[in-house]
Structure formats: structure tokens, C-alpha cells
Amino acid sequence: MIAAHKELDRFLDKNAFIFSEALLNIVRAYYGVGKSIPDARKDLAELIRNTMILSDLNGRKRLWMEFDHVKNHHAKFGDLPDTTPIAPTLTFDEAVTDLITREPRLAESAAEVSRMYSVDHVFAMARSAEQNITERAQKAIEKFLTDNTPAEALSKSIQDIGGFSQAYADTVYRTNVATAYNAGRMDQAQDPDLSEIIVGFRYEGIDDARTRHNHRVGFGTIAATDDPLWGKFKPPNGYNCRCGLEFVSRFEAERLGLMEDGKLKPRYSVPPSQLNPDPGFKTESLF
């Protein structure tokens, strides 16, 4: 049994290696090895797009699971099973079909989500990632030519680029999956069928030595789904952020004494002015 923000953390540990390989394919293409540069670039853009779509849909699926449980039991949802992970063994189309088969109410959302993460949008993100990784390769080559570096040293530089791409891919993957997953949950919460019961979100995260202070202080904050707070403090709130939003039902809010005139009163863990993402972090520029 697993709660939503913990389910997300499991997603985050799955597929970073496929980003790393896609990035290295671009470096190889610059060296004339393997695919052409346009093909390698297209593959990276498609990989980013598909991952964002699947992550968004999984966030929506999770919200429907929680909604059904709370509606049927009038209880805090607690932990629910992780029934549809982002699985590297499935193709993109198979994974989407699997999600819709398990949760038919996602069918209409799936088409909209696909349009939302348009090819043009992710292509721009892919070019940013490509620039980041190829600049490393170009510097290695420049140093090789300028310093008459031995061939084996250049080979090591390329290996170092591979190591960098793995760490970079991990950050790219984790941050974008978290963004799409939580965006899907927030958007799905506006569905009229859900909004009668889903009145707010609670900010939660993994509390361990890796947790940043400005993230931890937000744990337990409760605010309405349309509260302005989520405009500036919605997860991810930094690279590799493992925080998430658990929904607050009308029934739970009433038990907590937070419903007033049919609306949820916020309960902040600290004053809202102290709830901020990492300095300089912007979710629209994740690469």
C-alpha cells in the first residue's frame, strides 16, 4: 500500500537511464556514430513528450482512485496500491491503453493531455537538453585539439560526459515526472464530478536527510484546490523534489473544522510568505 507522494517517489526511480541513453545518442551523433543528429534529436523530444503524458495521466488516475475510495467510505483515503506504474517494458501506446483500460474516465483527458504536451513544446525542451550535453562534448574536443591531448585522454573525457549525462538525465527525468504528475492531479481536481468532494490539497513529501528545509516546512499545509498558494508553491519546488499533493476531501475538512460556508479554510504550516520554491527554480524551464 502506498500514498500518492510515495507512489511518485517510486516513479522517480524508474526510467532515468532511458534519458541518459537518448542524450548520449546525441553526443554519438555529433561524432558521426549511430543515428543522425536530427533523428537523435527527434527521439529525445518524443521521449520527453511521452514521459510527460504518461506522468500526467498517472497523476489523474491516482486522483480518481482516491476519489472513489473516499466517496465510498467517507474516510481519509490513506494508502492505496500502486496499480499502474510508468513501466519501461511497455511501449508508449501500450502504457496509455493500459491506463485507460484500468480507468476509462481518463479517455477524454488523454486526448487533451496529448495536445497539452505538444511536439513543439517538448522539442524546445529537447534542444535545451541537447545544448547542455553537447557543450560538454565540444569543450572536450576543443581541449583535445588545443592541448594536443593524448587520444586516451579524449576517450576518458567522453566517458566523463557519459557519467555527466546519467546524473543530468536523472535530474531531468525526476523533475519532469514530478511536474507532470502533480499537474495532472491539480487539473483533474477541477473536474465537476470530483470538485464536490475534493476541496483542497495537503502538501506532503519524503522526510529524510535529503529533504530541503524550504520543502519540509510546507509539510502538512492545507489549502483549497484554487488557493493562490499553489501558484507559487506547487511541487516540484526544486530539482529532484520528491514532494507531492494529497487531496483533502470535504469529509476530512469537516472533521478538521476547516469548512466554513461551504469552503475550505487554509491551514498553513508556516506563514504563506515563508513557503517558497528553491531560489531561481522555474518549472517551465526544467532543462
Per-residue pLDDT tens over the stretch 122-162: 655 555 555 665 565 556 555 555 665 565 565 555 556 55
Tell me if 283 is assigned to some domain. no
Tell me if 261 is assigned to some domain. yes
Tell me if 209 is assigned to some domain. yes
C-alpha cell at 133: 550535453
Tell me if 286 is assigned to some domain. no
- Give the model's confidence band at 6: pLDDT under 50 very low, under 70 low, under 90 confident, else very high: low
The DSSP code for 2 is: B
Radius of gyration of the chain (CA): 21
Distance CA 23, CA 176 (A): 16
Tell me if 167 is assigned to some domain. yes
Percent of the chain scoring above 70 in pLDDT: 66
Greater model confidence, 142 or 267: 267
- The answer to whether the beta carbons of residues 5 and 247 sit under 8 Å apart is no
Tell me if 284 is assigned to some domain. no
What is Dmax (Cα atoms) for the chain?
75
**Whole-number pLDDT of residue 1:** 35
**Whole-number pLDDT of residue 35:** 86
What domain range is 255 assigned to? Answer: 4-274
Per-residue pLDDT tens over the stretch 227-264: 999 999 999 898 888 888 888 999 999 999 999 998 99
Tell me if 36 is assigned to some domain. yes
Q: At what angle do helices 37-73 and 151-188 cross, to 10 degrees?
A: 30
Per-residue pLDDT tens over the stretch 41-54: 888 778 878 888 88
- Quick one: which of 217, 73, 277 has its CA closest to 65? 73
- Is it the case that residue 272 has pLDDT exceeding 80? yes
Buried b / exposed e over 105-144, threshold 16 CB at 10 Å, is: bbeebbeebbebbeeeebbebbeebbeebbebbeebeeeb
Strand partners, 263: 260
**Whole-number pLDDT of residue 151:** 52
- Give the model's confidence band at 285: pLDDT under 50 very low, under 70 low, under 90 confident, else very high: very low
Three-state DSSP at 224 gives strand
Neighbours of 47 (CB within 10 A): 20
Distance CA 169, CA 17 (A): 7
Number of structural domains (the chain) is: 1
Calculate the CA 99 to chain-centre distance: 17
Tell me if 134 is assigned to some domain. yes
- Give the side-chain half-sphere CA count within 13 A for 45: 18
**Whole-number pLDDT of residue 66:** 83
